[in-house]
Amino acid sequence: MANQEFLNELNFQRNSIQLRDVELLEIKFTNIGIDEYKDLPFQLNRHAEIEEKHVNIYLIAIIGDEEKSGFNMEVKYKGEVYSVEDEMGMEELKNYALQHVIPMLLPYVREVSSSIINRTDLPYFMLPTLDVINYLKSIRENE
């Protein structure tokens, strides 16, 4: 009964924009001798494409630089974003998806990249978490 009381106290925020069908599209991994991850470059690329009833979002994470550090990993994820209530036009949904692709797909990238790296003889590695609130603020400021 205590669990039910706890659940009743939670204020769930409903969002009509949903993510579905997340798919790992590609992994490229090269290690030609890295001993530590000091100053390892990290880059995120994102894009979105409008489909008939949803928007496909893509997140490509590039970790390392094979030429400079001897280590490089690229992870590419795709997901579908759709509106449950059809309250947005497709262009507006695409803009929303582009703003939120990193918070939506980065957890998938973090899990698969750390899992693969940690199964090798390489030192433990985990991508940093993202401060979603500050990230969204920076996007709004740059619009």
The 10s digit of each residue's pLDDT in 82-124 is 888 767 788 998 988 888 888 889 999 999 988 888 887 777 7
Residues 123-133 pLDDT 10s = 777 777 777 66
Instruction: Tell me the pLDDT of the chain averaged across its residues.
Output: 80
**Between 65 and 73, where is the model more confident?**
73
Selection from 64, 141, 136 nearest residue 101 by Cα: 136
**Between 110 and 66, where is the model more confident?**
110
pLDDT score, position 44:
86
Query: In this structure, what are the phi and psi dihedrals at residue 34, rounded to the nearest 5 degrees?
Result: -120, 135
**Between 29 and 15, where is the model more confident?**
29
pTM: 0.77
Cα–chain center distance at 112: 11
Does 67 score more than 60 pLDDT?
yes
Q: Helix 90-118 crosses helix 132-141 at what angle (to 10 degrees)?
A: 140
* Domains of the chain, earliest start first: 16-141 (3.10.420.10)
Mean pLDDT calculated for residue range 10-23: 73
Do residues 26 and 76 make contact, with C-beta atoms less than 8 angstroms apart?
yes
